[in-house]
């Protein structure tokens, strides 16, 4: 699943699903249907659930643009940002 973080509220994270596909399935004795999430669906997950899945941040094509946008939220100025 590829998702965008919309907001964080304590232990909860609100996500916007960008892409979801089934890669592999391990089943036991009973076959089961695994529903996929719809693109543009908003979901809520606990922070520890996301961490357990070894989530990764996708790199932007222009990381300097990301740094400028992130600095607005982190209260940093241009000279305070790391390269």
Instruction: Supply the DSSP string of 21-58, one letter for each residue.
Output: --------SS----PPPPTT-EEEEEHHHHHHTT--PP
Q: Which domain holds residue 51?
A: 2-25+36-80
Task: Please indicate, yes or no, whether the overall pTM of this predicted structure exceeds 0.85.
Answer: no
State pLDDT tens for residues 54-77.
888 877 788 887 777 777 666 655
Q: Is residue 67, in this structure, part of any structural domain at all?
A: yes
pLDDT in tens, 7-38: 999 999 999 999 999 887 777 777 777 789 99
Q: CA torsion sign, 53 to 20 to 26 to 45?
A: positive
Domain assignment present for residue 30? The answer is: no
Is residue 60 assigned to a domain? yes
- What does the block give as tokens for 1? 């699943």
Our count of domains for the chain comes to 1
The span from the CA of 12 to the CA of 29, in Å, is 34
What single DSSP character describes residue 61? S
């Amino acid at each position: 699943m590829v998702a965008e973080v919309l907001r964080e509220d304590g232990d909860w994270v609100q996500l916007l699903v960008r892409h979801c596909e089934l890669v592999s399935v391990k089943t036991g004795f009973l076959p089961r249907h695994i529903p996929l999430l719809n693109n543009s669906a908003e979901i809520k997950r606990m922070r520890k659930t996301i961490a357990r899945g070894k989530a990764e941040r996708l790199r932007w094509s222009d990381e300097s643009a990301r740094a400028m946008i992130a600095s607005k939220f982190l209260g940093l100025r241009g000279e305070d940002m790391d390269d």
